Amino acid sequence: MTIEQRPFGRTGHMSSAVIFGGAALGNVDQGTADRVFELLQQYGVNHIDTAASYGDAEERIGPWMDRHRNNFFLATKTGQRDYESAKAEIHRSLERLRTDHVDLLQLHALIHPDEWDQALSPGGALDAAIEARDQGLIRFIGVTGHGWNVAAMHRRSLERFDFDSVLMPWNWLAAHHETYATDFETTVKLCEQRNIAIQTIKSIARGPWAAGISRNHATWYQPLENEEAITTAVQWVLARPQIFLLSVGDVDLLPAVLRAADAEFDLPSDAAMAGMSDRAGLSSIFGL
């Protein structure tokens, strides 16, 4: 069982089409994390994405790097906006991940105009990332975000700096959002022209947690749980060969995502997707 590999933008790395989302390790013990590692090896996942803000995730991944650093493209994120704080967080991440460098450092959740201006201006987090790249502590620099304005904000970011990757939501519901779908496709086209890696999140988001619903998963949104629905949703995203899918923020749902990506498949039809959406009751996690 080996998930397809794709060129990760201009980095020269062939990454598994499903990137492991380290948020799933934010609140688990090391034994659970090590079982996840075995699962990733089983499916040939060779790209890990985490963040300084994901609880204990970097510390759980660190022991893997002691033995298998060369087997993974390793990415983390800083949510700090000023140079000094971002520099400190980058060094802290390297310590926690037990490595002398990460392959990709991403400016995390850069969607609010004031924070964007601070991070990408002199004395901002971008300066810390560039310095770390010049020092060999990181190899590439990316930008991430959530919300319906993120695709438009990424284009603004790409006007300011030549980022190597972007990360933004994409699923069946997002593809039918009146403004986001157009923004997403415009940003994808720009990234394709400049060979910038395109990462997507929220493939199996069902909707926000409803009042009174027991939160039985670690995801901040209510996820799809039915395996057929998960398979359809994952394969719909991965049918686009230039796009990567970050897995899911819950270790119990991870196997279903990996099984879906490992199977042979064609693009699910609009009718199949619409039927899945109706049965699952998909709704926006970002409001209107």
Q: pLDDT tens digits, residue range 124-176?
A: 999 999 999 999 999 999 999 999 999 999 999 999 999 999 999 999 999 99
Q: Name all domains of the chain by residue range, CATH numbers in brackets.
A: 5-280 (3.20.20.100)
Give 3-state DSSP helix, strand, coil % of the chain, rounded to 5.
45, 20, 35
At 248 the pLDDT is 97
Q: Give the type of residue at 277.
A: S
At 97 the pLDDT is 98
> C-alpha dihedral over 16, 109, 222, 19, to 10 degrees?
10
Regions of the chain with pLDDT less than 70: none
At 211 the pLDDT is 85
- Joined tokens for residue 6: 């794709």
Is the pTM higher than 0.95? Answer: yes
